[in-house]
Amino acid sequence: MITMTYSAPAKINLSLDILRKRKDGFHDMRMVMQTITLHDTLILHPHCGGGRITLSCGGAQVPCGEENLAWKAAQLFFEETDTPCDGLEMELRKRIPVSAGMAGGSADAAVVLKALRGLYRPSLPREELERIALKVGSDVPFCVRGGTVLAEGRGEQMTSLARMPRCPVVLCKPGFGISTPELFGRVTVSRLKTHPDTRGLVKAIALGDLRMAAGKLGNVFEEVLPQEYGEVFEIRDRLLGAGALNAGMTGSGPTVFALFDDETRAKGAYEALAKDYSETYLEKIL
Ligand code: ATP
């Protein structure tokens, strides 16, 4: 049996802006997305399983059938590329927290698409893989591409940026989940008081200026966060108090991330928060 192992890295939103609600129900977004070192692991056994796709998730709190984005990605890959499925066994080892604003499911889907391209259709153009990715979900095209990206439209209009400096990142997820549709439902674009300075952020990244980039973090979902999720801001304030350059919520939360320019301070912040929150991570920009 052939065994292949892949990493599926999580993302953070250095910025997240909503520009308008579209007629098709989606929103036009403007986001700077960034891959980080925190990752799930995908183990593949190709050409196995009697022509079927199978998936195991090792007890993680995620669906393990057709609703799993990794499964959906595999099925769509075979369909959209007219590749006969000769059987595929997949095993996911989840480490990215679920429903945390870190695109865990999208990361898994993206790594499946990239792995299957490598195995079955090495000459498939990147644009074609990103088109299939968008059918799986709005964040999947970014996860296929990775790095530092300005993502617009639903997230599929991507411009790769210069890489962010490889600084330490502390992430902390409070013990509740936030529904992404609920948060979108709370946004009336014309009533938003502030929008992130995405242009300034892109410029700071181009200059390789970590401190300036950190100063430009922003996420419009923070403005509409219901009061009962105020712990998000308590965590942010603790990270700032521990010496972060800046901190904010990623995606639709509730995970808060903080950028540091100093390993020792990042470790101190991580250790302090890990005492109170089991889902705390000390990672890096990838
Ligand atoms: P995003 O940042 O893209 O909004 P998220 O990090 O908030 O995503 P996920 O961890 O991707 O959220 O999970 C969202 C939902 O997707 C959950 O309800 C989960 O059950 C489902 N799901 C399907 N497949 C997966 C997967 N492979 N890993 C995690 N969740 C999955």
Which tens digits make up the pLDDT trace of 98-109? 999 999 999 999
The complex scores an ipTM of: 0.94
Q: Is 19 in the pocket of ligand 1 (CB under 6 A)?
A: no
Mean pLDDT of the chain: 96
Q: Is 40 in the pocket of ligand 1 (CB under 6 A)?
A: no
Segment 136-192, tens digit of pLDDT: 999 999 999 999 999 999 998 999 999 999 999 999 999 999 989 999 999 999 999
Which among 127, 160, 193 is the end of a domain? 160
State whether 200 and 241 are in the same domain. yes
> Which pLDDT value is given to residue 283?
98
Q: Answer yes or no: is pLDDT of 14 > 80.
A: yes
Q: Is 101 in the pocket of ligand 1 (CB under 6 A)?
A: yes
State whether 9 and 132 are in the same domain. yes
Q: Answer yes or no: is pLDDT of 227 > 80.
A: yes
Whether 196 and 218 have beta carbons less than 8 Å apart is answered as: yes
Residues 257-272: what's their mean pLDDT?
Answer: 98
Q: What percent of the chain has pLDDT over 90?
A: 93
Structural domain that includes position 244: 168-284
State whether 35 and 145 are in the same domain. yes
- Domain harbouring 151, CATH code: 3.30.230.10
Distance 30 CA to ligand 1 centre (A): 21
Q: Answer yes or no: is pLDDT of 193 > 90.
A: yes
User: Which residues are known catalytic residues?
Assistant: 11, 139
State whether 94 and 149 are in the same domain. yes
> Which pLDDT value is given to residue 202?
98
Residues 257-269: what's their mean pLDDT?
Answer: 98
3-state secondary structure 33-60: EEEEEEEEEEEEEECCCCCCEEEECCCC
Distance 114 CA to ligand 1 centre (A): 19
Pairing of strands 168-172, 256-259: antiparallel
- Domain harbouring 236, CATH code: 3.30.70.890
For the chain, the domain total comes to: 2
| Neighbour tally for 154: CB within 10 Å | 17
Q: Quick one: pLDDT band at residue 255, thresholds 50, 70, 90? A: very high
State whether 82 and 183 are in the same domain. no
Q: Which atom of ligand 1 is nearest to the CA of 97?
A: 10
Q: Which atom of ligand 1 is nearest to the CA of 94?
A: 28
State whether 180 and 117 are in the same domain. no
Segment 73-96, tens digit of pLDDT: 999 999 999 999 999 999 999 999
State whether 244 and 178 are in the same domain. yes
State whether 212 and 228 are in the same domain. yes
